[in-house]
Amino acid sequence: MDQVYPATFQSVVYQGKTFYAMAPFDSHTVMENSHPCETCHGGARLLEYDDTGRIVITKWNAKAGKLDTVKGVVPIPEDWAQALQFDFADVVGDIATPGQPEKWVFLKHGADLSQMMDEYAEPLTKDQLDKLRTRVVLKQGAIHLEKGRQPGSRS
- 23-72 tens-digit pLDDT: 888 776 777 877 777 788 888 999 999 999 999 999 999 998 889 999 88
Q: Are 102 and 65 in contact (CB under 8 A)?
A: yes
Residue 139 counted as domain residue = yes
CA–CA dist 59, 61 (Å, integer)? 6
Residue 16 counted as domain residue = no
What pLDDT was estimated at residue 140? 75
Q: What is the largest CA-CA distance in the chain?
A: 58
Residue 24 counted as domain residue = no
Decide: pTM greater than 0.85: no
Average pLDDT of 115-135?
88
φ/ψ of residue 25, rounded to 5: -125, 125
Q: Which residue segment(s) compose the domain that 76 sits in? A: 37-114+125-146
Residue 129 counted as domain residue = yes
User: Per mean pLDDT, which of 4-8, 101-105, 123-127 is the most reliable?
Assistant: 123-127
CA–CA dist 135, 71 (Å, integer)? 20
CA distance from start to end of the chain: 30
Structural domains in the chain (count): 1
Residue 2 counted as domain residue = no
Residues in the chain: 155
